[in-house]
Amino acid sequence: MSYYQGSFRFGSIFGPAIGGFIAELAGLRTPVFLLAILGSISVVLTFLLIKEERSEKPRPRTPINVGSLLRLVFDQRLAAIEFTQMASFITMSSIRTTMLPLYGVEYLGLPLSAIGTILSAGSAGALVSFPALMLISNVGDRIKRNLMFGI
């Protein structure tokens, strides 16, 4: 799972910058075709290199309670949460991937490579926040523990 999530993070950080430079050099269609080729290669490599792990003991199967599943599917509170999450994701991703690049090209006259670099800078900033949060968490826990022992 870590490789899977790491590849998404890597792509979201460096993808816009690389795609911007490629689009500026070879046209807007080229990054899409390159993405399709790289995706196809990754599918083939996944099938060839990753083997499914089989456990020696079969896991006990739990029966599916259809009634509980249906109550969950039709729960209005859960549906409201899911709709809100979906609307938020669509709004944020459409602004980042469509509105900002169009605004940069049409109104600011930025080259595609600059737009890609700007989008990558935001992702790189988010990447830097992960080690900072881990450091704060570790140091913060020690400070709280020491403070609690001192009190």
Quote the pLDDT of residue 2: 63
Quote the pLDDT of residue 148: 47
- In the numeric block, the tokens 């075709």 are attached to 33
As a whole number of angstroms, the distance between CA 93 and CA 97 comes to: 6
Number of folded domains in the chain? 1
- Does residue 145 fall inside a structural domain? no
- Does residue 75 fall inside a structural domain? no
- Residues 16 and 119 sit within 8 Å (Cβ to Cβ): yes
Quote the pLDDT of residue 141: 60
- Residues 19 and 7 sit within 8 Å (Cβ to Cβ): no
- Does residue 138 fall inside a structural domain? no
Quote the pLDDT of residue 151: 47
**DSSP structure class, residue 56:** S
**Per-residue CA distances from 57 to 51, 54, 60, 86 (Å):** 18, 9, 9, 39
- Does residue 36 fall inside a structural domain? yes
As a whole number of angstroms, the distance between CA 100 and CA 112 comes to: 11
Kindly give the parts of the chain with pLDDT less than 50. 148, 150-151
Quote the pLDDT of residue 41: 94
**Per-residue CA distances from 78 to 15, 71, 72, 112 (Å):** 34, 10, 7, 40
96 is in which domain, residue-wise?
A: 2-51+88-126
- Does residue 83 fall inside a structural domain? no
Q: Which one, of 107, 100, 90, 102, lies nearest residue 123 by Cα?
A: 100
- Residues 135 and 129 sit within 8 Å (Cβ to Cβ): no
- Does residue 6 fall inside a structural domain? yes
- Does residue 8 fall inside a structural domain? yes
The proportion of the chain whose per-residue pLDDT surpasses 70, expressed as a percent, equals 81
- Residues 82 and 88 sit within 8 Å (Cβ to Cβ): no
Give the CA angle between residues 35, 8, 16 to the nearest 5°. Answer: 55
- Does residue 110 fall inside a structural domain? yes
